[in-house]
Structure 1
Amino acid sequence: MDDLNALLAIADRMLWTTALVAAPVLLGSLGVGLLIGLIQAATSVNEQTLTFVPKLAATALILVLFGAGMTTLVTDFFQDIFHEIASIG
């Protein structure tokens, strides 16, 4: 039963790590898309490709700013996983 609790704790931490790593990129892309959509609605410009470049630029900027922190989160998670595997086996 203790192994089951350890696996559930790992699964819980995995989901939180995934959410923390994906959230900045998703929220930034959502914000830029919403802003561009409002501008398009106000100006009646219905160009589908207009939203692609700002979203791509925002995603690249977010990855530059927060990429090191995201990598640190994932690296720490994997180190903890490997320590758990070593202690179980």
Structure 2
Amino acid sequence: MDDTATLLALADRMLWVTALVAAPVLLASLAVGLVVGIIQAATSVNEQTLTFVPKLMVIALVLVLFGASMMALVGEFTQDIFAQIAGMAR
């Protein structure tokens, strides 16, 4: 019973860490896509590849700004997983 609760807590934390790591990139991409889409609708420019370069630049900027904290979250989670595995082996 204790192992099941531990695994469910681990799965819950895994989903939370995944959401925290993915959110900055996804939200920035969504915002840029929305702004470019509004500009395209207002100017009647319907070029599908126009959103690619601004999204790419913003995603690169987000990764530069938040990449270290995102990797710290993943690294901390990984260390906790290995610590729990080592604790279960005893």
Q: Same fold (TM over 0.5)?
A: yes
Residue 29 of structure 1 corresponds to 29
User: d(CA) in 2 for partners of 1:3 and 1:54?
Assistant: 47
Residue 78 of structure 2 corresponds to 78
For normalisation by structure 1, the TM-score amounts to: 0.99
Residue 43 of structure 2 corresponds to 43
User: d(CA) in 2 for partners of 1:87 and 1:7?
Assistant: 13
Q: Select the structure with the greater relative contact order (CA < 8 A; seq sep ≥ 6).
A: 1
Matching residue's letter, 1:17: V
1:14 aligns with 2:24: no
Runs of at least 5 residues in structure 1 that lack an aligned partner in the other structure: none
Runs of at least 5 residues in structure 2 that lack an aligned partner in the other structure: none
Superposition RMSD in Å: 0.4
Q: Kindly report structure 1 stretches of 4+ aligned residues shifted beyond 4 Å.
A: none
Provide Cα deviations, 1:14-38, integer angstroms capped at 9, x if missing partner. 0000000000000000000000000
Aligned-pair identity in percent equals 72
Determine helix, strand or coil for the equivalent of 1:15.
Answer: helix
User: d(CA) in 2 for partners of 1:24 and 1:77?
Assistant: 18
User: d(CA) in 1 for partners of 2:80 and 2:11?
Assistant: 12
Determine helix, strand or coil for the equivalent of 1:16.
Answer: helix
Matching residue's letter, 2:59: T
Matching residue's letter, 2:87: S
